[in-house]
Structures are given as C-alpha cells and as structure tokens.
Amino acid sequence: MKPLNSTYAQLGTTVFEVMSGLAREHRAINLGQGFPDGRGPEDVLRVAAETLLDGWNQYPPMMGLPELRQAVAAHEKRFYSLDVDWQAEVMVTSGATEALAASLFAVIEPGDEIVVIQPFYDAYVPLIRRAGGVPRFVTLTAPDWTLTREALAAAFSPRTKAIVLNNPLNPAARVFSRAELELVAEFVEGADAVAICDEVYEHLVFDGRRHIPLLTLPGMRGRCLKIGSAGKTFSLTGWKVGYITGAPELLSLVAKAHQFLTFTTPPNLQSAVAYGLGKDDGYFAALATGMQAKRDRLGAGLRAAGFEVLDSQGTYFLNVDIASTGFDGDDLAFCRRMTEAAGVTAIPVSAFYERDPVRTVVRFCFCKEDSVLDEAMDRLARQLAKVA
C-alpha cells in the first residue's frame, strides 16, 4: 500500500484524549480536558428533548435553521452592536471545530502562509497543513502572554493569507486588549489578509472585562470570520453546535467547504441553541460570574498548595508555573506524576506549541462542581511534596 496522508501519519493522538485516558487509568480527578461537569441549562435541554420528539428530524437547511441564524444575528447585535444579515452572513456548523476546518479550507491555497499564535488550540495546525498552508508562528510566553508588534512583524509577510486569532486564548487564559487587537488589525489590513477569529470563549471573560470581537474594529468587518460555540456558551460541549458570522464574500466560500464536510447539524440541537441565545442578559452574566467564582476557588487552593498561579482573564482555564516547585522534569512529566501520585490530572502547556515551547506551565480546568475542585485541591495539598 502507498503511504497515506503525511500530515496525519506524523501526528500523535490529541493531548486531551491522552490525558483523559491517563486520568481514567489512575482514577484521577480530571482537570485536564476542558468540559463542564454540570448538566447545562435545564430549559435549553428541554427544548432539545421536545423538538427531538415533536419536531423535524431530517436534514435541516445547509446554512442552518433560520431560527438559529436569526438568533445568532440578534446575539451579535445585542452584545456587539453589529448589524448582521442572517441570510447572507450567518452559517451554522457542527461545532467550532468544523467552522475552523471549513474556514481554513475555504481560505487557503497551497503555499499560503497562515499566522498562528502559540500556544494554540491543537486543531489549527493540522487543518492548515492539510489544506496546503504553511503556519508561521507568533510565540507568546508566560506569565503575560502579550502580543507585540515585533512578534507580529516577524510572522507576517506579503505571502500571509490569514491569521487564526483565538480570543479569549486557550490555554493562556488571556483576553487580548483593544491595543493588541488594533495591532492585529493593522497587520491583517497591511497584508490584505483574512482573520479567522476563534471566539468560542466570548462569554467567559472575567473581572468586568468585555470581549471585543476583532470584527468590530475599523476595517475588519469584511475580513473576519467570527466563530462561536454553543458548547461553551451553554456548557454543553458534547453538542458540537457552532456558528460563523462573516461578510457574504467570505462566508459564501466557507459555505461551499461546509457543504462537503458535514453539510448540516442536528435540527433539535439547533432549535435549542436558538432558544438559548435568546435568553436574557442575566444568563450570560451569571455564566461568567459563576465561572469566575470557580476560577477563584481553584486559584486560592492551588496557591495554598504552594503553586505559583498565573492570571486567568477568561476561558475555562487557570495555569500554574511549576518552575518554583523544585520538580525535576518538564510539564508533561509533572502532569503524569501528578496523575499517578496525587490523583489529579492537568494538561502540559508545551502541547500547545510547535516550536520553542514553554516547558514549566501546567493548565487546570476549573469548570467543575465545587466539591470536585475541593477534592482535587485537598489531594494536591496533601501530596504536592510527593509530586515535586
């Protein structure tokens, strides 16, 4: 048999699957892979159940159910004062992951350079390579993870076709400032490029911060594909319902890629997400404040256990720097040891880099029941000595 596709032949299994497997093997508390352990909003679940039983269960329209596309447009207006034409500028996808795949496949011609910020969500680079693109990395480092003009200037070139911008940024838990976004906009415009904006954590920003979509900056309306995920906004990560907002010239091409990837997304889930996006402002505010309280709970416990805790401005995640623990090994070794010795699993942040990784930062997920966080912190406090 001839060799199969080299991009995939060279890839390992995603770190989330590996660490969740290790957690199962050692019966450890899994603060690795980012998923909430609650049930999700009861009313949204009920709409999904009722429309499954009483509604249409055949192919919905390729662009998505009108009610969900209208709800996405209304959401963009409510939160970001954006006027969006739901028919020409909104498409539903099977999760943000499919939205990313469709966007990258629609934008990239073989040989195009795509700017990617490290640390990155691990789906980006294989998708870029599979489409024939060449990733160019902008490297951020702990503890500030700041985007600078110098780093962007080194990555952008006349061959830049697009940037993938994840804001709020998993795993660094950064929410980029307006000044950083203005820099990105300047480079995108300067290169006559596109921005694929992964904003799945748009409603998970803390301490009174406001999420600013790149698409709302001057000059960016026609250059951005803004991607959202019901998984994060309704704490239902298994649903895999995503949505893209973008100018018709961009979105129409993304729709062509989407029609031959998944084509559609289960209709009852679309109806439930349409209902959910219409929930009152209180729901969205409580999602952020509830998650912020969990961040603080875990942060206090990790600090008390002796960890150096980094700032978490958004997302589901909180990072610690293990350099000061005296552990003789890198972040991956630390995560393995912590799973085996303390019974708590986290994710090594070096997995989110392709080159020159940060090797002393470990990511914990805090979107868990308080009792689970408390038990994890007890275990860590009791056994940090054994881990380190």
Pull the structure tokens for residue 290. 């509830």
Q: Shortest approach of ligand PMP to residue 344 CB, angstroms? A: 21
Q: Which of ligand GLN, ligand PMP, none does residue 283 bind to, with CB < 5 to 8 Å depending on kind? A: none
Pull the structure tokens for residue 283. 């729901």
- Residue by residue, DSSP assigns 336-378 as HHIIIIISEE-EEGGGG-SSS---SEEEEE--S-HHHHHHHHH
Q: C-alpha angle with apex 71: 66 to 72, nearest 5 degrees?
A: 100
Q: Shortest approach of ligand PMP to residue 34 CB, angstroms? A: 6
Q: Does 343 bind ligand GLN (CB under 6 A)?
A: no
Pull the structure tokens for residue 94. 């099977």
Q: Shortest approach of ligand GLN to residue 183 CB, angstroms? A: 25
User: Which residue in 143, 148, 113 sits closest to 128, CA to CA?
Assistant: 113
Q: Does 33 bind ligand GLN (CB under 6 A)?
A: yes
In terms of CB distance, is 243 or 307 closer to ligand PMP? 243
Residue least distant from ligand GLN (Cβ) = 34
Pull the structure tokens for residue 240. 């895999």
In terms of CB distance, is 243 or 275 closer to ligand GLN? 243
In terms of CB distance, is 30 or 97 closer to ligand PMP? 97
Q: Which of ligand PMP, ligand GLN, none does residue 95 bind to, with CB < 5 to 8 Å depending on kind? A: ligand PMP
Query: Are the C-beta atoms of 201 and 210 separated by less than 8 Å?
Result: no
In terms of CB distance, is 97 or 313 closer to ligand PMP? 97
How big is the site for ligand GLN, counted in residues (CB under 6 A)? 5
Residue least distant from ligand PMP (Cβ) = 95
Q: Shortest approach of ligand GLN to residue 98 CB, angstroms? A: 12
What residues numbered 145-204 form the site for ligand GLN, per CB under 6 A? 170
Distances (CA, A) of 109 to 134, 161, 381: 10, 9, 51
Phi and psi dihedrals of 220, rounded to 5? -100, -15
Q: Shortest approach of ligand PMP to residue 171 CB, angstroms? A: 8
Q: Shortest approach of ligand GLN to residue 313 CB, angstroms? A: 16
Q: Shortest approach of ligand PMP to residue 95 CB, angstroms? A: 3
User: Which residue in 42, 107, 387 sits closest to 255, CA to CA?
Assistant: 107
Pull the structure tokens for residue 348. 């090594």
Taking CB under 6 A as the criterion, the residue among 7, 16, 143, 259 binding ligand GLN is: 16
Query: Are the C-beta atoms of 223 and 188 separated by less than 8 Å?
Result: yes
Tokens 């061959």 belong to 159
Taking CB under 6 A as the criterion, the residue among 19, 30, 34, 298 binding ligand GLN is: 34
Q: Shortest approach of ligand PMP to residue 190 CB, angstroms? A: 25
Please report, as ranges, the residues that interact with ligand PMP according to CB under 6 A: 34, 95-97, 121, 166, 170, 198, 200, 229, 231, 237, 240, 242
In terms of CB distance, is 172 or 250 closer to ligand GLN? 172
In terms of CB distance, is 33 or 319 closer to ligand GLN? 33
Pull the structure tokens for residue 288. 């952020």
Q: Is 217 helix (H, G, I), strand (E, B) or coil?
A: coil
Q: Give dist(CA 302, CA 310) in Å, integer.
A: 11
Q: Is 115 helix (H, G, I), strand (E, B) or coil?
A: strand
In terms of CB distance, is 167 or 271 closer to ligand GLN? 167
CA quadruple 200, 207, 35, 14: dihedral sign: positive
In terms of CB distance, is 123 or 381 closer to ligand PMP? 123
Q: Shortest approach of ligand GLN to residue 263 CB, angstroms? A: 22
Q: Which helix (H) or strand (E) holds 251?
A: helix 248-259
Q: Is 114 helix (H, G, I), strand (E, B) or coil?
A: strand
Q: Which of ligand GLN, ligand PMP, none does residue 33 bind to, with CB < 5 to 8 Å depending on kind? A: ligand GLN
Q: Give dist(CA 26, CA 55) in Å, integer.
A: 43
In terms of CB distance, is 13 or 81 closer to ligand GLN? 13
Residues making contact with ligand GLN (CB under 6 A): 14, 16, 33-34, 170
